[in-house]
Amino acid sequence: MLFNSFIFFIFLGLVLPIYYMTPSKMKNLVLVIASYVFYGYWDYRFTILLVISTIIDFTVGQKLYKCQESKNQKRWLFLSMFSNLGILAVFKYYGFFVESFAPLASIFGGNLDYLHLNIILPVGISFYTFQTMSYTIDIYRGRLTPTKKFIDFAVFVSFFPQLVAGPIERATNLLPQIVKRPMPSKSQIEKGVVLIITGLFKKVMIGDAAGRIVDNIFSQPDIYKSPELLAALVLFSIQIYADFSGYTSIARGTAKLLGIELMKNFEQPYLSQNITEFWRRWHISLSSWLKDYLYISLGGNRKGMKRTYINLMITMLLGGLWHGASWNFIIWGALHGVYLVIHKLVSDKKKVKYGYRYSGLLSLFKYLFNVTLTFFLVLFTWLFFRSPDFSTATTFIMKMIYWESSAFTMKFFIITISFTFVMILFDIFEYYTKRHTFILTIKNKGIVMGILVVMLLASCLFMFQNEALPFIYFQF
Amino acid sequence: MIFKILKLFIGFIFAIALSLVVLELFLQKAEIETFSTTDFDSHIGRIKRTNMNFTLFNEGFSMGQYNNNSILGPDCSIEKKTGVFRIAILGDSYVESFQVFRRDQFISIMEKQLSKNFGKSVEVLNFGRSGFDLADMFAYQQNFVNQFKPDLILYFLSSNDLICTQTDLLVPKVIYRDNELIVTNDLFPQKYLQTYNKTKSLTQNSITMQMLNSVRKLILAGKFWPKMLGKFYVNFKEPPISDNITKQLPPLAFAIQDNFSSNTIVVNRGNNQLSKEFMFGLEKNKIPFVSLRDTLTVLKQKGIDPYYWVVTNTKGHWNHMGHKAIGYYLSEKLSKLLIN
């Protein structure tokens, strides 16, 4: 079920009163049923995989906690990793590896055609497998006590607001809330509604609207002119941010209506002054997951500078691969890895700048220069992220080098500026109020209501006229 | 207490008004939707607006303009420049081609290729209008197109267009009465026209109003529940059985055919053959005929579906490859026809 569809709001309208009226003991059962209905709406077969993953990790969690012997603990942990990564390998990466090894096999006279299988990629598989993996790893590391109730764990895995595209929650944050089965406070309801409406506006009116241009141009870059391609790339950077941060806002807002707090996933990433800061502000739940469970496990920065750089590169390459089984994502990850290494080399031992405080015009210009530079570095990586194949990315680069003018340059420029301006406006308000629900800082609630009504009206009109586009991160 | 409520209410109204203005500005500048492209002229009926830019999203996406004479494309004068060979193309949404930029449309390809083949400037004017059938096109030619004095007129027709349903209430009607073909403006429903004239300034100047109007039309077309319920929507209504195949062509279609000007060429743009009787009439009236079926079939056999749109995963109007094939095919065909 897509958050940007009317059926989701009907679903939510049914789930919320049932959840509120259900006795505390049964609340989590309601949540599990609702989550499975939500997930099964795409394809009921996906829920089977979810059940399997839940049963395995619940059992492993119990066993890990019970057995004290480190040898046995490792075996149980291995079982959890094997099953979770196995699911990912089969459903997400199998086709990629077969396709990648086919040319190599053909050199030696082999034919891998018989290995080709048409496997459907279950929605959000990377998100919930990473979430359940963190559960077992945390128990193994002694940071977490496993939950005794299967139903509580089932909610942790399948909690519908964040099931398909995160934020990838840690059991230490989410599970205690689920066990408490809370009712939302008045403040949570207020914030929840604001987050849902602003998130929907970002997703629909900015993400989807910009995405229509992006999708058309990226599908046939050869027929478009250089300024149009450049506009499409900038628009994609806006689209993916609006799409994903919009989704996260709706997820967090929905969770708040159920009395549960989810972590923030974005903190105005395009206002970052350097690439390290960018990764502290972009897809925070994934970057912190990779840091805690991969980078640190590899040794982090404890084994010398050279090893730190290697660890960074491995983490970013695997981070790229997490997004999808395609060489484009690996290049995207590699580029970010290289950026991070260079930044670490340049700013070695200096404290990484985070946030900005005005201290004269010069500092403002320096800040704006750094933000623009970081944005363009990130923009270049988005080219590989968005291109469906190498030839698309190559066409883009060639058309940037061999510039062709377009009669629509000004039109594309104005469109791009308009989308960017609105998105940046959200960011600036969030940056200065330090709140995603910045609208609530307005004291007159009538004004708040008025703004929200118009945002909701616009989103609904757009949703009614257009087919609901899935969130970009659903495919991961 | 009353003061508090009043403050809230004033704040609410103020915020609504201000937000709507900001929203409108954003919708316009970001070209999320285009203003209504139509206007009304007492002689021509529903007509396209002049000097209007648009960005449209459908199966594909396009940017373009209606020029100083309400025609798709760059500005042109009513009077033909000396030495210019002018071709007028009449048709429905397939000719209108809102799915691709003008530079990729078959019209532009024809313009370039024919100019090359003839060694003189060829101007192709796009008079395509969504929903137009044979009668609508004929009325449009009489009331509007003829003033441009085209050297050649191409009618792009499909078998359905010959049924002449003339559904648009604000387009002049073609009547066949007492063996006489009349294009009349007397049949515009006055109440509908009045409502249109009253509301058009809203949809012509506000994107928000245009969006509301589009949603209203979708609701009237029965799309409310399918949109709301998604996969859970069940349609209990029996789908109407198409009777196009069995339907006889109305006498009006033959009368229009008999009144085609001598510089007319009929192009079958559809997948089905035009009716035998109609084809016989064309032969009788010595109206040249071109079919696009073979070209499009060959394209399909090569594994390129000219109706398939990758981005929206839909079948619809001609895609870029379709336009390219048609453009080159028609250029060749017309070159031969005109040289002969």
pLDDT digits (tens, 9 = 90+) for B42-89: 899 999 999 999 999 999 999 999 999 999 999 999 998 888 999 999
Residue B336 predicted with pLDDT over 70: yes
Mean pLDDT of A409-424: 96
Residues of chain B with pLDDT > 70, as a percent, come to 97
- From B218, which residue of chain A is nearest by alpha-carbon distance? A465
The pLDDT value recorded for residue A470 is 83
Other C-beta atoms lying within 10 Å of the C-beta of residue A342: 13
In a domain, B285, yes or no: yes
In a domain, B252, yes or no: yes
Mean pLDDT of A248-266: 95
**Contact assignment for B7 to A418 by CB distance below 8 Å:** no
The pLDDT value recorded for residue A182 is 82
Q: Which amino acid is at A183?
A: M
Report residue B110 as tokens: 């024809």
Which ipTM score applies to this complex? Answer: 0.90
Which residues, at least 6 apart from B66, have a Cβ–Cβ distance to it below 8 Å?
A: B37, B48, B49, B50, B51, B52, B54, B72
Of B227, B231, B311, the CB nearest to A219: B311
Of A444, A449, A454, the CB nearest to B23: A454
E runs forming strands in A126-267:
none
The pLDDT value recorded for residue A142 is 87
The pLDDT value recorded for residue A354 is 72
Tell whether A67 is within 8 A of chain B (Cβ): no
Give the integer Cα–Cα distance in Å for A456 and A148.
Answer: 41
For chain A, the residue count is: 476
Angle between helices B251-258 and B276-284 (to 10 degrees): 20
In a domain, B24, yes or no: no
Cα-to-chain-centroid distance, residue A347: 28
Report residue A70 as tokens: 């480190």
The pLDDT value recorded for residue B239 is 63
The pLDDT value recorded for residue A112 is 62
Residue A315 predicted with pLDDT over 80: yes
Nearest to A462, CA basis, from B23, B268, B77: B23
In a domain, B286, yes or no: yes
DSSP H stretches of helix in A258-389: 275-281, 284-290, 305-323, 327-346, 361-386
Q: State how beta strands B152-157 and B264-268 pair.
A: parallel
Give bridge partners of residue B86 from the DSSP assignment.
B123
Residue A454 CA: distances (Å) to CA of A448, A450, B207: 10, 6, 14
In a domain, B279, yes or no: yes
In a domain, B324, yes or no: yes
- pLDDT class for A165, splitting at 50, 70, 90? confident
Tell whether A200 is within 8 A of chain B (Cβ): no
Query: Could you read off the pLDDT of B244-271 as tens digits, one per residue?
Result: 555 688 889 999 999 999 999 999 999 8
CATH of the domain at B95: 3.40.50.1110
Mean pLDDT of A369-387: 96
In a domain, B237, yes or no: no
**How many domains in chain B?**
1
Residues of chain A with pLDDT > 90, as a percent, come to 67
Report residue B206 as tokens: 């506000």
Nearest to B19, CA basis, from A242, A436, A425: A425
In a domain, B19, yes or no: no
Write out the residue range of the structural domain in which residue B183 sits. Answer: 37-232+247-339
Nearest to A256, CA basis, from A471, A50, A436: A436
Question: CB of A57 within 8 A of CB of A30?
Answer: no
Question: CB of A121 within 8 A of CB of A173?
Answer: no
Three-class DSSP category at A466: coil
Query: Could you read off the pLDDT of B183-241 as tens digits, one per residue?
Result: 898 888 899 999 999 999 999 999 999 999 999 999 999 999 999 998 888 877 766 65
Query: Could you read off the pLDDT of A451-469 as tens digits, one per residue?
Result: 999 999 999 999 999 988 8
pTM of the model: 0.91
- From B228, which residue of chain A is nearest by alpha-carbon distance? A6
Q: A410-415: long-range contacts at Cβ-Cβ below 8 A with a sequence spacing of 24 or more? A: A411/B31, A411/B53, A411/B55, A411/B63, A412/A227, A412/A228, A412/A231, A413/A227, A413/A231, A414/B29, A415/A213, A415/A231, A415/A235, A415/B29, A415/B30, A415/B31, A415/B55
Mean pLDDT of A42-64: 90
Chain B residues touching residue A455 (CB < 8 angstroms): 19
Domain segments of chain A: what residues? 6-183, 187-273+355-475
